Amino acid sequence: MHILVSNDDGYNARGLEVLVEALRDLAEITVVAPEVNHSGASNSLTLSRPLSVRHAPNGFMYVNGTPSDCVHVALTGLLDRRPDLVVSGINNGANMGDDTLYSGTVAAAAEGYLFGIPSIAFSLVERGWGHLDAAVAFARQLVAHQLSQPLQVTSLLNVNFPNLPENEIKGMRTTRLGKRHPSQPVIRSATPYGETVYWIGPAGDARDATQGTDFDAITQGYVSVTPLRLDLTHHDHIAQVSNWIGPLCS
Ligand code: MN
């Protein structure tokens, strides 16, 4: 068995290092991760310049590009055989609800999924690695389960861990994505030269955190496991849009 591991926090991130250590006895592990933090990179690929792949002393490879670049380059150029699983994380912070659209952690896993490989994104919901050891224990369980009894469908799983000690985590729940309120306003600041600059504000609070959502599972103390799909087509709108453009089609 062979697992490709990436993340969006960068190859030096603790969540990546600890996850890789925990998975070592389950499979051969190859790490290809961004050189620097690319949280919020979404599925971006670098097309304006070539990418360098360098080797860290611990055996990790790092790329001066995005999470999607890392997995893409690994699958199309670096690995001599296809991995059985692509894993991303463990991210420093939640990737729930609408976060998943912006997330570089989810994007790295999504890149594996686009190549037809089962993929899992892991995130610890609070920043600061509070109970990373508990998150890693559950991540290891899920990976071991996928390797020994693979899902019958090729899946992209978005997994979030509550920031709790292992004995306080109640178990795992399969969830749907919740929804967030719009982001909070930008934060204005000034450069030493007097130019006004803007920081993107924090994500909004949960708007749909009802039963069955990832937000609800986390609040209740469960690990949240959401199967994702990448088909953006709004199938329910096809008929209406077709009618609407009808007059323009003659
Ligand atoms: Mn991140």
pLDDT of residue 183: 83
Whether residue 203 is contained in a domain is answered as no
Q: Residues lining ligand 1 (ion), CB within 5 A?
A: 8-9, 39, 91
pLDDT of residue 204: 84
For the chain, how far is it from start to end, CA to CA, in angstroms? 56
* Mean pLDDT computed over every residue of the chain: 96
Q: If you measure from the C-alpha of residue 149 to the centroid of ligand 1, how many angstroms do you get, rounded to a whole number?
A: 29
Q: If you measure from the C-alpha of residue 106 to the centroid of ligand 1, how many angstroms do you get, rounded to a whole number?
A: 9
Q: If you measure from the C-alpha of residue 9 to the centroid of ligand 1, how many angstroms do you get, rounded to a whole number?
A: 4
Residue pair 40/122 in contact by the 8 Å Cβ criterion: no
Number of folded domains that form the chain? 1
Whether residue 248 is contained in a domain is answered as no
pLDDT of residue 81: 93
Whether residue 88 is contained in a domain is answered as yes
Q: If you measure from the C-alpha of residue 229 to the centroid of ligand 1, how many angstroms do you get, rounded to a whole number?
A: 21
Q: If you measure from the C-alpha of residue 61 to the centroid of ligand 1, how many angstroms do you get, rounded to a whole number?
A: 18
Whether residue 151 is contained in a domain is answered as yes
Bond into 90 cis (ω within 30): yes
- DSSP string of 34-97? ESS--TT-TT----SS---EEE-TTS-EEESS-HHHHHHHIIIII-SS--SEEEEEEEES---T
Q: If you measure from the C-alpha of residue 7 to the centroid of ligand 1, how many angstroms do you get, rounded to a whole number?
A: 7
Q: If you measure from the C-alpha of residue 161 to the centroid of ligand 1, how many angstroms do you get, rounded to a whole number?
A: 14
Q: If you measure from the C-alpha of residue 131 to the centroid of ligand 1, how many angstroms do you get, rounded to a whole number?
A: 16
Which residues of the chain fall below pLDDT 50? Answer: none
Whether residue 190 is contained in a domain is answered as no
Whether residue 36 is contained in a domain is answered as yes
pLDDT of residue 182: 82
Whether residue 185 is contained in a domain is answered as no
Q: If you measure from the C-alpha of residue 122 to the centroid of ligand 1, how many angstroms do you get, rounded to a whole number?
A: 10
Q: If you measure from the C-alpha of residue 31 to the centroid of ligand 1, how many angstroms do you get, rounded to a whole number?
A: 16
93: domain range? 2-175+211-231
Q: If you measure from the C-alpha of residue 21 to the centroid of ligand 1, how many angstroms do you get, rounded to a whole number?
A: 19
Q: What is the pTM of this model?
A: 0.95
**CATH number of the domain encompassing residue 108:** 3.40.1210.10
pLDDT of residue 205: 87
Whether residue 87 is contained in a domain is answered as yes
pLDDT of residue 203: 84
pLDDT of residue 193: 97
Q: Provide CB contacts within 8 A for 66, sequence distance 6+.
A: 8, 34, 38, 41, 44, 45, 46, 104, 107
